[in-house]
Amino acid sequence: MSQTVHCPTCRTPVSWNTRSPWRPFCSERCKLIDLGAWINEDNRIPGVDLPDDSLDRITPWEDPANDS
Ligand SMILES: [Zn+2]
């Protein structure tokens, strides 16, 4: 028996099991989109922008403070 949820970003049905590592999102892409939207809405961090075509080559959580 498996439970299905809907991706908060694109509403794709996602099986709630270990084969869906990004649940409740359908993919890492949707997870990043949702996180980006949340950051933009609540914190307004300059420079945090995730256009669709950048998600494939994004480096996960690299600290911009190290770039000095
Ligand atoms: Zn999705």
Ion ligand 1: residues, CB within 5 A, are 7, 9-10, 12, 26, 30
| pLDDT value of residue 53 | 65
Low-confidence ranges of the chain (pLDDT < 70): 1, 41-64, 66-68
pLDDT value at position 44? 57
Structure pTM? 0.53
pLDDT score, position 63: 67
Q: Is residue 63 assigned to a domain? A: no
Q: Does 67 fall in a domain?
A: no
What is residue 48's predicted lDDT score, i.e. its pLDDT?
57
CATH code of residue 28: 3.30.50.10
- CB-hemisphere CA count at 13 Å for 10? 13
Whether the CB-CB separation of 28 and 12 falls below 8 Å is answered with: no
51 CA to centre of ligand 1 in angstroms: 15
The reported pLDDT for the residue numbered 50 is 60
Please give the single-letter amino acid code of residue 62. Answer: E
Asked if the structure places residue 42 within a domain, the reply is yes
Integer angstrom CA distances of residue 54 from 13, 46, 48, 51, 60: 24, 17, 12, 6, 12
Domain-located, residue 66? no
Note the pLDDT of residue 66: 67
CB 5 within 8 A of CB 23: yes
